[in-house]
Structure 1
């Protein structure tokens, strides 16, 4: 649907996690709203991010549980994965969600939903002008929710091969013989483990001295060791000097002289905001040195009437942060007092087991000069993990001793992504860490370990890093 010379109260560019909710909230207040999406409803999360990858992760986990079932006294034959069937299951789920959301807004009585690129082109008096395929529209307010995209590293020869990114790897229907993953951060580790469990030989190449470098070194090492025990070749502190095309795929020449022959190469390193083709310069919206749109605590840019939410503002590249951006902005535009100031970072690494993270790492807390105590236990110290026979992991709680506040947690282990949220709530409401001592958790669960964890706090030693 093309719109011609219509005027709106608000134009939203991008139907990712923040855009649709904002459109509905503002429409509910009587505003005339247009919502533009250039690719597919739901943004990265729904189409080629969180949900499709977790659907395929579930299949990989089932395969792994079947292969390791003998330790439970359950015996199976050879376990194989039909990747085409796994992808079909993923597509059925995602297509239904995407089509449901898209149909809702396409058929909405008062919100104009347009599948088209859209960019600012300047002003028409007090209104902003936005150009899209087939027309120009105006609005008093523009909200940018354009997201971010993958960018390949500057490796000679990479542009000569058909490399995969986190979009295209989800469409493979045959398991790679040897998948080489460039990048040992969240995307690379999740896909690496997933395809190893599907039956591929997997090598992860990380240029930095350790994988998931934003975590404490002991957490990084615990994750890397778990992957190595599953058969992945995890190489840290190694760069790729050149890539050549081969009959079977590609040959990667590593710094130091080693070569890797890959059937497939996944590029899982680097993302940039989608801010370069929005026409921001036509109205004077400022971006930082990385291209992220600069915003205040209510997501307002330096230009009155223009806001930026989601990955494009650099305040968190996660579905949950984007969604909350929309909630905060909707509240602010309605006269509320919600703000992004003081947001406590929280996220998960969805290897299996997962890593649930909130707040500071121990390293960050010490660098900030806090007087901290820490409790650490390996995964087999958690009763639920032992009962389920899934004891990989390292659990870590960091407390500010002077203020009696939890400042961070790194829960790598069975249901660590769920258990960490109890800590996140505690931090969010600024409750004392000592509240954990009197909390009554359910037995047996992973979260039940938190009171014991609190009782085990002590000054950190060198080995706690």
Structure 2
């Protein structure tokens, strides 16, 4: 019997979505080949996005804690960090991640090809390998997990040594005195806090009315206050008109007539899907204006045997979601009728301090006319916060007045992205298990940051007179 295809599945990209798709498929007995355009595995998550920026943030946070803790100042001078020194730590993390993820493919006997894949037809991909030779591969199904890259307007010269995007900023070899961050989304806010944390002057330009409008208003306000308190100049409702570049400075011209001067510009205004060059026109697939693919609830594209997951399909564009999307796409590709469509992802924003949330905001509940109440716990009032010195921030619980069902959880402060998962687990409980009373009737370790749930729950019940 002649074998119809070389492989059961081809995965384009080895980021979180591609890796999880490949591992899921091979664990279920499918033959898999992964095609990765970069020289090493991990995708943008490992090399340009999630991990490098979080490694940078960690080192800045450590330096800030050292400088602000009196007992450490008594035994040594204040620590200042240059940006290149921070990058050296990030590169160590990247190296360890690449080694670990490379072993995943070797241990599971997944073939890995470094090269650029191009569709010949829906079941055939031609790969221009790293050695310059072409290899043609056929497969029953394909998962596109090629990720995204920073959006670059045509009228800005990104080859100029003073202009960076969220990829090239990881190669900046100096520490500017002042930097403009254009775009106050998640990436822009994270880098603004990192830069201000090492003493840079930062101008954060936001085209919207407030920072991260998808957040609960109170959390957005807290972030704005914290950034301003560290010296960040936030400019709302501003749109760029042009960028003037010279050997000495960058001048950002805004439509309002303002001119902002700085030593460098970091452009953080959107991302584009990595779909150009895939030959999608050969299989009749189209993308939107940002190069992103449309999929159904099974992560299936308009071509029946081709699936897509991760940043290449747009929202929520998070590594956490991409892992689950890739697994679901692989399940659908092997014919599983039911798969999880990832639409309940917690928000994790690694500013200083960090932010995390799950569920609805106060504005959403008010607009939906859902009767709710609020319970708050301020970290400055917790024993663990006082011990650690992490006193900035709070945990906020939104719950139904009648049923005490938890409707939303919002956290601003140290370890927020960890703390959120306790409440997320309770919100997922069925048959009446999702209730504020869980936090009152459960004993938490003391002192812990998790204890904030008990404090917030009691605060909320007090508002109801219970």
Structure 1 and Structure 2 fold alike (TM over 0.5): yes
- Output aligned runs, 1:175-214, within 5 Å: 175-214=175-214
1:332 offset after TM fit, Å? 4.8
Q: After TM superposition, list the pairs within 5 Å mapping 1:412-451 onto structure 2.
A: 412-430=412-430, 431-434=433-436, 435-451=438-454
Counterparts of 1:251 and 1:406, CA distance in 2 = 48
Q: Displacement, 1:169? A: 1.2
Alpha-carbon distance between aligned partners in 2 of 1:295 and 1:28, rounded to the nearest angstrom:
24
- Checking the alignment, whether the CA contact within 8 Å between 1:222 and 1:394 is kept in structure 2 is no
1:269, 1:333 → 2: CA distance?
34
SS of the residue 2:26 aligns to? helix
**Contact 1:178/1:200 (CA < 8 Å) preserved in 2?**
yes
Q: What is the SS of the residue equivalent to 2:165?
A: coil
The aligned residue for residue 253 of structure 2 is 253
Structure 1 segment 268-417 matched on structure 2, within 5 A: 268-285=268-285, 287=287, 290-332=290-332, 339-341=339-341, 343-417=343-417
Aligned 8 A contact 2:66 2:78 in 1: no
Taking a change above 3 Å as real, the CA distance of residues 166 and 11 of structure 1, as seen in their structure-2 partners, is: same
Whole-Å Cα distance in 2 between the matches of residues 433 and 334 of structure 1? Answer: 38
Q: Does 1:11 align with 2:10?
A: yes
Deviates more, 1:330-339 or 1:434-443: 330-339
TM value normalised by structure 2: 0.88
Q: Which residue of 1 aligns with 2:126?
A: 131
What value does the CA root-mean-square deviation take over the aligned residues? 2.7
Query: What TM-score do you get using the length of structure 1 for normalisation?
Result: 0.88
1:118 corresponding residue in structure 2: 117
Equivalences, count: 450
Distance in structure 2 (CA, Å) of the matches to 1:181 and 1:132:
37
- Say which is worse superposed, 179-188 or 243-252, in terms of deviation: 243-252
Contact 1:345/1:359, CA 8 A, preserved across alignment? no
Q: What SS is found at the alignment partner of 1:429?
A: coil
Q: Secondary structure at the match of 2:293?
A: coil
For 2:461 and 2:253, the matched residues in 1 are separated by 46
Specify whether residues 315 and 210 from structure 1 end up closer, same or farther in structure 2 by C-alpha distance, changes over 3 A only.
closer
Closer/same/farther in 2, CA of residues 109 and 356 from structure 1, 3 Å limit = closer
CA distance in 1, matches of 2:156, 2:343: 41
Partners of 1:233 and 1:71 lie apart in 2 by 31
Cα–Cα, structure 1 residues 428 and 365, in superposed 2: closer, same or farther, change >3 Å?
same
Deviations 1:44-66 (A, max 9, x none): 11111111111111111122112
1:221, 1:53 → 2: CA distance?
23
1:67 and 1:76 in contact (8 A); partners too: no
SS of 2:16's equivalent in the other structure is coil
Cα separation, 2, equivalents of 1:35 and 1:429: 37
Q: Determine the structure 2 residue equivalent to 1:463.
A: none
**Mean alpha-carbon deviation: is it higher for 186-195 or for 292-301?**
292-301
For 1:450 and 1:77, locate their aligned partners in 2 and report how far apart those are by CA, in whole Å: 38
Alignment partner of 1:35 is 2:34: yes
Deviation of 1:24 (Å): 2.9
How far residue 130 of structure 1 moved from its aligned partner, in angstroms, is: 1.0
2:460 corresponds to 1:457: yes
8 Å Cα contact 1:60-1:194 kept in structure 2 = yes
* Structure 2: 5+ residue stretches without partners: 129-133
C-alpha contact 1:373 1:457 (8 A) present in aligned 2: yes
Cα deviation, 1:72-101, whole Å, max 9, x if unaligned, reads: 874532322143332222212212321442
Q: Secondary structure at the match of 1:421?
A: helix
SS across alignment from 1:423: helix
1:184-216 deviations in whole A, cap 9, x for unaligned? 121111111112222322221111111112112
Residue 152 of structure 1 and its aligned partner are, at CA, apart by 2.9
Contact 2:120 2:126 in 1 (8 A): yes
Q: Any gaps of 5 or more consecutive residues in structure 1?
A: 461-465
Q: Deviations over 1:95-146 (max 9, x none)?
A: 23214423653x56842211111122224xxxx1112111221111111111
Compare 183-192 and 80-89 and name the one that shifted more.
Answer: 80-89
- Cα pair 2:5 2:140 within 8 Å, conserved: no
